[in-house]
Structure 1
Amino acid sequence: MKMQRLQRIINFTGQYKKHLFGAMFFAMLSAIWMLIPYFSIYQLIQLSLQGPVLRADLMHYGSIAVIGILFDVLTFFIALWLSHMAGFRLERNMRSYGVNRLLTVGLRFFDQEESGAIRKTIDDNASLTHTFVAHNIPDTIRSIVAPALILMSIFYINWVYGVLMLLIVATSLFLLNRMIGNTADIKHYMDSLDEMTATSTEFVRGMALVKLFDVPLTVFKRFKQSITHYGQWALNYSLSVRQPYISNQIVLEAFPILLIFALRWQKAISAQFTLALFVLIISVQIVMLLMKVLTIGQSLYMSVQAVDRIDHMFNGYEENIESTMATASSQVDFANQDLVANNIGFAYLKDQPILHDISFKLPHQKMTVIVGASGSGKSTIAKLLIGAYRNYSGTITIGNQDIKKLSEPQLMANITFISQHSRLFNRSILDNLKIANPSATAQQIQQALKWSACDDLVAKLPQGINTVIGQDGVYLSGGEQQRLTLCQAFLREARIVILDEVTASIDAENENQMQAAIIQLAKEKTVILIDHKLKITKYADQILVFHHGPIVERGTHTALLAKNGQYQMMLDMHLQTQNWRLGGES
């Protein structure tokens, strides 16, 4: 299984896989050249046993040693260059893979996953895997080839030394494996690190409120708990590996002592001691390479986990892939058909229903306003209408066509969904508007700007519609961005527009202009507005009042006032909050 995961990492290098294999080849050559200076030392030791070493021999073997060092550096440089080329391509391909997965999952994924966590999972894990391929793979080859050659050399010189070194290497590898731990340990480490990073970001973002309102730091319990949890886990893990770590150090440093005991059975002590000295010198390389194995092993585990974490992020959302990528065989005329919901029931969590027995009809080219207390299911019904969740009971139809049988691209081509958190890109105003309709003419754009009350806003910008947002200090308020997002809705050819709390966090001036734009929009398209301020409801063709799941009232503003029920109570509460002033009521 681990080899399959490693093969998958290699496959991410794509057409640069040959660079990776080239890096392995040159790393192997580097390991061979690395041992050439030791060959020269061995030859000089052999000559020293026969008598004084001549100057010519020193120059000859010294030159060979220098050549070995130069070629070692050169071949390892080539290996690193090739592995970095493969690593950068792997990083790019992993990011592309993550983004492509984002394009294939359903909207439910974006409703349940935070954008910061998505970016971090894709970017950070791609960078982590790049490090393994670019740096650790050449080191891995050297750490395999060089010790093997050194062991063969020691066996050639003296089989007793070879057996001793082989035992030491085997014991050290066993202890190193215990030090690295298992996949669960690495996964726990990365999970704890992600949790601490996420909570620290939340802590930093909330620092302004801490200072403004003198909030005690104890409110950030999750941040403190994540640090405590990570610290406790790190301490326990460190204590668990201290015994194999100490044992490994003793084993690696025990070779000189074992050599002394081995020499007791040799007859020619002086000659054997000289050879033992050479064996001791060359064995240092094995010790150094074995210490690298710990880092390489940890990097391998973390790289495998990195690929798995990107996949795991999308687990549970595959059910939407078929419906997302499918092409609906039937065509639906969204422009002239009503949207009807019958007996809708839905729950995010089992046994915790959010909606139950919901039925309504949304007439085409009319404005329906959905109101209700927080948590009553207003936004949830909007998510069902755009196909973000398909595991509901009952039916939602457009022109007698069940939307569960429609592909997500088809729904998105005909439904515009705008939330209170909509954002524009750091491009020109024109580029942002053309995202909604690339083929829109200048006249259509100007008309949309006028209908959405954005023409005056654009006229004030330094370069008009060609002004780049975020450049030269040009920034838009949240309300101004919402107005331009509404302008995109006018430009889109989609016949149904769902507005989810678009006026929730904007000032009074922008709210009035947004309200006028929404009324104009309802003349062109079918508008479903989720609202809690109740200022625009009097202009609605239909009002649906949600109350903890079911629809308790429906009708026009005038008809609902006459009922003197839930809607009237909500309106009274809203008026009270409008009249509230600091220090008392007006």
Structure 2
Amino acid sequence: GGFPMEKTSPMRRLWQLAAAEHRRLRMAIALAAIGVLAGIVPYWAAAKMITALLSETPAAPHFYFILCLAAFVGYALRSILYAQALALSHRAAFAVLRDIRTRILEKLPKLPLGVVIQHASGSMKHTIVDQVESMERTIAHLWPELTANTFGPLCIFVYLLILDGRMALLSLVSIPVGMIFMAIVMRDYEEKYAGAVQTTNEMNAAVVEYIGGIEVIKAFNQGAASYEKFSEKVRANASYYYRWMLHCQLPMSLGKVVSPTILITVLPVGWLLYQDGTLPMDVFIQTIILSLGIAGPLLASLNFIDALAKVGTTVDAVDEFLSAEEQRHAIESRPIETTDIIADHVSFSYDGTKNVLNDISLMIPSGTLNAFVGESGSGKSTLARLIAGYWDVKSGMIRIGGRDLKDIPLPQLYDMVSFVAQDTYLFDDTIRANIRLGRLSATDAEVERAAELSGCADFIRRLAHGYDTVVGSGGSHLSGGERQRIAIARAMLKDAPIVILDEATAYIDPENEAIIQRAVAQLITGKTVIIIAHRLSTITDADTIFLIADGTVSAKGTHAQLLSDSSAYRSMWQAHIRAKDGEENA
């Protein structure tokens, strides 16, 4: 599972996520801090030299030589240590990103399948790729550089306090004034960034949808309308960023102009104190030179304000995945003798408010052919997906072979059920590899036998590369009927004892319908079968037909029983016959 969800600050949460790399990151921070101290040496050496040159008794040449050497060593050390710190922090950062992505990808299969399917693929890609990537800057630069950029000015300030408290305070006056302008921008930064993530997610989803639906768009000549929707999201994204930057520009510019003007206070006031005799010449010179090293690093650290504000939104998006509720099932496999399916007072809601299923109870005996029929949105697909383990039931219970689904480990449950949906997804791989997904250990002969039984063999033989033909992304090189038959071949190869067909003949043209029906007949022989059907003629020989309306079983029985006993089923059958006659007469 994910981390416990007590509300921690984003930076602390990121530090938790980077737990495996703490040693490297601490080392990087320490090296950067030592590098900063070394970087102060050239300033100190320059101040000493100028003081010596202005004093009445000039120092010996070797004095200047030693100071020059000290400045060079300090500068060289700073560069070497800084480079080492960044090398370490970058290695740590990429290891952390790898770990976070691995954990998200390990988490995805443990989430309810339905939850994953409901997510727009564009927003998922944005979190796993783009948002996780945006953490790199924070991890690799923020911790070592922010430490260095704040630790350095702090050391200089402490040294100036020792030299002269008045001058130390003077050297800071312009910085808070500049910071006030920066603070104006930061007031609503997190909220603004969250809005930016949302508009980018919407744009990504629109891009994926536009590209995925290009065939439909062209076929229905909806190019202009669909392109308008797509470009509207792109424009909305651009205009959001433009307005946000416009809002930030003036205060950020003022902050960056005002903060470094340290000498505005140090020079005139220091001169007056020197004239007064209360400030020695060497302290005055050291203050001038060292105070120049305060504002630069602090301003550099302001570049991380952006990264700091983003961390919250990014960590939240990652945590949404890592702490999402997993399906909790038994770990140990259980012997299951039969495949009776019992739904016992099952209610189910996707959003926790509106029930899709209301107190459904039904019994499906092992080895029987059953059908779920009903209007679109009646809950029949949801019930089938619950039986297949896409979600866990919160209210009521589903049992297979007398065992509560939660007592059956998910891998065992998935092995027991073959689910053939109307939207068949094929991977951009060969036909052989796509069928073999049903059982990875299957031999070529077994794959070809499944293809033969499911009516695929004829069209596969006609393809240039036969079984080694690559099907394209999502199976785009094949027709709907061909994809459907490959899905049935895959299910045959899996040879699971329970088969659920969700509108499996939905896309089939009349010529292919007979082939598919034969394939389905082969697939379901001797199995416990649930068919979700719109075409009632395909399920007239079912042992039990369950009529589902408004999330409940309103009637059940054989086709003949329902025709005589259920007016709702009768009117559905008559509408189906009229539609069929219409097709045949057309």
TM bucket normalised to smaller:
0.7 to 0.9
Q: 1:129 aligns with which of 135, 139, 147?
A: 135
The question of whether the paired residues in 2 share the 8 Å contact of 1:448 and 1:490 is answered with yes
| 1:522-546 alpha-carbon deviations (Å, 9 max, x no partner) | 1142221212244522453433333
Aligned-pair CA distance for 1:558: 5.2
Structure 1 82/462 Cα, relative in aligned 2: closer, same or farther at 3 Å?
Answer: farther
Q: 1:398 aligns with which of 397, 400, 416?
A: 400
Question: Secondary structure of the residue that 2:47 maps to in structure 1?
Answer: helix
Taking the TM superposition and a 5 Å limit, the aligned residue runs for 1:466-477 are 466-470=468-472, 475-477=477-479
Structure 1 24/505 Cα, relative in aligned 2: closer, same or farther at 3 Å?
Answer: farther
Between the aligned partners of 1:199 and 1:100, the Cα distance in structure 2 is: 23
Between the aligned partners of 1:457 and 1:218, the Cα distance in structure 2 is: 34
Q: Which amino acid aligns with 2:168?
A: G
Aligned-pair CA distance for 1:31: 1.6
The question of whether the paired residues in 2 share the 8 Å contact of 1:561 and 1:568 is answered with yes
**Which residue in the other structure is 1:148 paired with?**
154
**Which residue in the other structure is 2:3 paired with?**
none
Taking the TM superposition and a 5 Å limit, the aligned residue runs for 1:329-478 are 331-333=335-337, 336-349=338-351, 352-391=354-393, 393-470=395-472, 475-478=477-480
The normalised TM-score by structure 2 is 0.82
1:301 aligns with 2:303: no
Taking the TM superposition and a 5 Å limit, the aligned residue runs for 1:184-199 are 184-185=190-191, 188-199=194-205
The question of whether the paired residues in 2 share the 8 Å contact of 1:479 and 1:507 is answered with yes
The question of whether the paired residues in 1 share the 8 Å contact of 2:416 and 2:498 is answered with yes
Structure 1 287/392 Cα, relative in aligned 2: closer, same or farther at 3 Å?
Answer: closer
Aligned-pair CA distance for 1:431: 3.7
Aligned-pair CA distance for 1:184: 4.8
Once the two structures are overlaid, the 10-residue window that deviates more, 101-110 or 85-94, is 101-110
Structure 1 122/341 Cα, relative in aligned 2: closer, same or farther at 3 Å?
Answer: same
**Which residue in the other structure is 1:83 paired with?**
89
Q: Which amino acid aligns with 1:23?
A: A
Structure 1 146/468 Cα, relative in aligned 2: closer, same or farther at 3 Å?
Answer: same
Percent of aligned positions that are identical:
25
Q: 1:107 aligns with which of 113, 118, 125?
A: 113
Structure 1 558/346 Cα, relative in aligned 2: closer, same or farther at 3 Å?
Answer: same
Between the aligned partners of 1:555 and 1:403, the Cα distance in structure 2 is: 26
| 1:249-288 alpha-carbon deviations (Å, 9 max, x no partner) | 435425424531342232279x978975664454344322
| 1:460-507 alpha-carbon deviations (Å, 9 max, x no partner) | 455544555549x99444443332222221122421011222333455
| 1:105-161 alpha-carbon deviations (Å, 9 max, x no partner) | 333422443343333223323212222112222211221222123223434554322
**Which residue in the other structure is 1:496 paired with?**
498
Q: Which amino acid aligns with 1:331?
A: P
Aligned-pair CA distance for 1:85: 0.6
**Which residue in the other structure is 1:47 paired with?**
52
**Which residue in the other structure is 2:261 paired with?**
253
The question of whether the paired residues in 2 share the 8 Å contact of 1:199 and 1:223 is answered with no
Structure 1 503/68 Cα, relative in aligned 2: closer, same or farther at 3 Å?
Answer: farther
Between the aligned partners of 1:340 and 1:400, the Cα distance in structure 2 is: 8
The question of whether the paired residues in 1 share the 8 Å contact of 2:369 and 2:529 is answered with yes
Length, aligned pairs only: 576
**Which residue in the other structure is 1:23 paired with?**
28
Structure 1 449/196 Cα, relative in aligned 2: closer, same or farther at 3 Å?
Answer: closer
Between the aligned partners of 2:209 and 2:115, the Cα distance in structure 1 is: 25
The question of whether the paired residues in 1 share the 8 Å contact of 2:349 and 2:357 is answered with yes
Aligned-pair CA distance for 1:380: 1.1
**Which residue in the other structure is 2:144 paired with?**
138
Between the aligned partners of 1:573 and 1:89, the Cα distance in structure 2 is: 61
Question: Secondary structure of the residue that 1:253 maps to in structure 2?
Answer: coil
Between the aligned partners of 1:166 and 1:16, the Cα distance in structure 2 is: 36
List gaps (5 residues or longer) in structure 1.
Answer: none
Between the aligned partners of 1:135 and 1:484, the Cα distance in structure 2 is: 50
Question: Secondary structure of the residue that 2:437 maps to in structure 1?
Answer: helix
Between the aligned partners of 2:307 and 2:209, the Cα distance in structure 1 is: 29
Q: 2:320 aligns with which of 312, 316, 322?
A: 312
| 1:313-347 alpha-carbon deviations (Å, 9 max, x no partner) | 465x52x44x235446x5322xx442233444333
Q: Which amino acid aligns with 1:78?
A: Q
Once the two structures are overlaid, the 10-residue window that deviates more, 374-383 or 348-357, is 348-357
1:265 aligns with 2:278: no
The question of whether the paired residues in 2 share the 8 Å contact of 1:366 and 1:523 is answered with no
Q: 2:221 aligns with which of 213, 216, 232?
A: 213
The question of whether the paired residues in 1 share the 8 Å contact of 2:481 and 2:508 is answered with yes
Aligned-pair CA distance for 1:94: 0.3
The question of whether the paired residues in 2 share the 8 Å contact of 1:173 and 1:290 is answered with no
Once the two structures are overlaid, the 10-residue window that deviates more, 5-14 or 556-565, is 556-565
1:288 aligns with 2:296: yes
Structure 1 92/229 Cα, relative in aligned 2: closer, same or farther at 3 Å?
Answer: closer
Structure 1 134/460 Cα, relative in aligned 2: closer, same or farther at 3 Å?
Answer: farther
Once the two structures are overlaid, the 10-residue window that deviates more, 177-186 or 134-143, is 177-186
Between the aligned partners of 1:272 and 1:213, the Cα distance in structure 2 is: 84
Q: 1:516 aligns with which of 505, 512, 518?
A: 518
Structure 1 485/369 Cα, relative in aligned 2: closer, same or farther at 3 Å?
Answer: same
Between the aligned partners of 2:500 and 2:60, the Cα distance in structure 1 is: 92
Once the two structures are overlaid, the 10-residue window that deviates more, 107-116 or 40-49, is 107-116
For the aligned residue pairs, the C-alpha RMSD in angstroms reads 4.1
Between the aligned partners of 1:412 and 1:176, the Cα distance in structure 2 is: 55
Between the aligned partners of 2:20 and 2:259, the Cα distance in structure 1 is: 43
Aligned-pair CA distance for 1:38: 2.1
Q: Which amino acid aligns with 1:75?
A: L
Aligned-pair CA distance for 1:423: 2.0
Q: Which amino acid aligns with 2:454?
A: S
Between the aligned partners of 2:209 and 2:124, the Cα distance in structure 1 is: 19
Aligned-pair CA distance for 1:227: 6.4
Structure 1 16/469 Cα, relative in aligned 2: closer, same or farther at 3 Å?
Answer: farther
Between the aligned partners of 2:241 and 2:93, the Cα distance in structure 1 is: 31
Question: Secondary structure of the residue that 1:544 maps to in structure 2?
Answer: strand
The question of whether the paired residues in 1 share the 8 Å contact of 2:120 and 2:205 is answered with no
Question: Secondary structure of the residue that 1:383 maps to in structure 2?
Answer: helix
Aligned-pair CA distance for 1:231: 5.2
**Which residue in the other structure is 1:160 paired with?**
166
